[in-house]
Protein backbone atom coordinates (compact mmCIF):
# COMPACT_ATOMS: atom_id res chain seq x y z
CA UNK A 1 0.00 0.00 0.00
CA UNK A 2 1.42 3.36 -1.09
CA UNK A 3 0.27 6.23 1.12
CA UNK A 4 2.04 8.97 -0.85
CA UNK A 5 4.01 11.97 0.34
CA UNK A 6 4.25 12.36 4.12
CA UNK A 7 4.07 15.58 6.08
CA UNK A 8 3.04 16.68 9.49
CA UNK A 9 0.36 19.32 9.76
CA UNK A 10 0.90 21.46 12.83
CA UNK A 11 -1.89 23.40 14.51
CA UNK A 12 -0.03 26.64 15.32
CA UNK A 13 -1.06 29.59 17.48
CA UNK A 14 0.71 32.27 15.44
CA UNK A 15 1.62 31.53 11.82
CA UNK A 16 4.32 34.21 11.52
CA UNK A 17 6.08 33.19 14.74
CA UNK A 18 6.00 29.51 13.72
CA UNK A 19 7.27 30.37 10.22
CA UNK A 20 10.19 32.28 11.70
CA UNK A 21 11.00 29.43 14.09
CA UNK A 22 11.03 26.76 11.37
CA UNK A 23 13.08 29.00 9.06
CA UNK A 24 15.75 28.99 11.78
CA UNK A 25 15.68 25.17 11.53
CA UNK A 26 16.39 25.43 7.81
CA UNK A 27 12.85 25.17 6.43
CA UNK A 28 11.74 27.41 3.57
CA UNK A 29 8.25 28.25 2.38
CA UNK A 30 7.22 25.87 -0.38
CA UNK A 31 3.52 26.64 -0.80
CA UNK A 32 0.53 28.04 1.02
CA UNK A 33 -0.99 31.43 1.66
CA UNK A 34 -0.53 33.34 4.91
CA UNK A 35 -3.76 35.28 4.21
CA UNK A 36 -5.53 31.89 4.32
CA UNK A 37 -3.68 31.02 7.58
CA UNK A 38 -1.45 28.24 6.28
CA UNK A 39 2.03 27.65 4.89
CA UNK A 40 3.77 24.52 3.65
CA UNK A 41 7.50 24.46 4.40
CA UNK A 42 10.29 22.15 3.30
CA UNK A 43 13.76 21.19 4.43
CA UNK A 44 15.12 18.65 1.95
CA UNK A 45 12.49 15.90 1.74
CA UNK A 46 10.90 16.91 5.06
CA UNK A 47 7.53 18.61 4.59
CA UNK A 48 5.81 20.57 7.34
CA UNK A 49 2.43 22.29 7.16
CA UNK A 50 1.67 25.19 9.49
CA UNK A 51 -2.06 25.79 10.00
CA UNK A 52 -3.43 28.54 12.21
CA UNK A 53 -6.98 28.09 13.47
CA UNK A 54 -7.91 25.25 11.12
CA UNK A 55 -7.90 22.26 13.46
CA UNK A 56 -7.26 21.67 17.16
CA UNK A 57 -4.39 19.15 17.04
CA UNK A 58 -1.43 18.13 14.94
CA UNK A 59 -2.18 15.68 12.13
CA UNK A 60 -0.01 13.13 10.31
CA UNK A 61 -0.75 13.70 6.63
CA UNK A 62 -0.26 11.47 3.58
CA UNK A 63 -1.01 12.53 0.00
CA UNK A 64 -1.58 9.63 -2.41
CA UNK A 65 -0.58 10.62 -5.93
CA UNK A 66 2.03 13.17 -4.88
CA UNK A 67 5.72 13.07 -4.11
CA UNK A 68 7.25 15.40 -1.50
CA UNK A 69 7.35 18.22 -4.08
CA UNK A 70 3.59 17.95 -4.79
CA UNK A 71 4.45 16.52 -8.20
CA UNK A 72 1.83 14.14 -9.56
CA UNK A 73 2.87 10.49 -9.66
CA UNK A 74 1.96 8.31 -12.61
CA UNK A 75 1.26 5.32 -10.39
CA UNK A 76 -0.29 5.44 -6.92
CA UNK A 77 -2.86 3.74 -4.73
CA UNK A 78 -6.17 5.59 -4.83
CA UNK A 79 -7.48 6.70 -1.44
CA UNK A 80 -10.52 4.44 -1.89
CA UNK A 81 -8.23 1.41 -2.35
CA UNK A 82 -6.35 2.45 0.80
CA UNK A 83 -9.69 2.82 2.60
CA UNK A 84 -10.75 -0.69 1.57
CA UNK A 85 -7.43 -2.10 2.78
CA UNK A 86 -7.71 -0.36 6.15
CA UNK A 87 -11.29 -1.49 6.65
CA UNK A 88 -10.38 -5.07 5.69
CA UNK A 89 -7.86 -4.91 8.54
CA UNK A 90 -10.60 -3.84 10.96
CA UNK A 91 -9.39 -0.27 11.36
CA UNK A 92 -12.12 2.20 12.27
CA UNK A 93 -12.21 5.29 10.07
CA UNK A 94 -13.31 8.65 11.46
CA UNK A 95 -14.07 9.92 7.95
CA UNK A 96 -14.54 7.87 4.80
CA UNK A 97 -14.30 8.64 1.09
CA UNK A 98 -17.35 7.98 -1.08
CA UNK A 99 -16.49 4.78 -2.96
CA UNK A 100 -18.82 5.78 -5.80
CA UNK A 101 -16.57 8.72 -6.73
CA UNK A 102 -13.12 9.10 -8.23
CA UNK A 103 -10.47 11.77 -7.98
CA UNK A 104 -9.89 13.99 -4.94
CA UNK A 105 -11.07 12.57 -1.61
CA UNK A 106 -9.81 12.02 1.90
CA UNK A 107 -10.12 9.67 4.83
CA UNK A 108 -9.21 10.11 8.49
CA UNK A 109 -8.41 7.72 11.28
CA UNK A 110 -6.94 7.91 14.75
CA UNK A 111 -4.05 5.81 15.99
CA UNK A 112 -4.14 4.03 19.39
CA UNK A 113 -2.52 7.07 21.06
CA UNK A 114 -5.06 9.56 19.75
CA UNK A 115 -2.97 10.94 16.86
CA UNK A 116 -5.07 11.86 13.85
CA UNK A 117 -4.03 10.59 10.43
CA UNK A 118 -5.27 12.27 7.28
CA UNK A 119 -4.93 10.55 3.91
CA UNK A 120 -5.72 13.36 1.50
CA UNK A 121 -5.71 12.72 -2.25
CA UNK A 122 -5.70 15.81 -4.47
CA UNK A 123 -5.78 14.08 -7.88
Counting the structural domains of the chain, the total is 1
Do the Cβ atoms of 15 and 39 come closer than 8 Å?
A: yes
95-102 long-range contacts, CB within 8 A, separation 24+: 97/121, 102/78
pTM over 0.75: yes
| CATH classification of the domain holding 38 | 3.10.180.10
Per-residue confidence in pLDDT tens, the chain, 123 aa: 999 999 999 999 999 999 999 999 999 999 999 999 999 999 999 999 999 999 999 999 999 999 999 999 999 999 999 999 999 999 999 999 999 999 999 999 999 999 999 999 999
Domain hosting 110: range is: 5-121
- Alpha-carbon distance 50 to 52, whole Å? 7
Amino acid sequence: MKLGAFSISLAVKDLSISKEFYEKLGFTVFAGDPTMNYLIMKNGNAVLGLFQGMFPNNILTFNPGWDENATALTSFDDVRKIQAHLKSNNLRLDQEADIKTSGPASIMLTDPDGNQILIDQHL
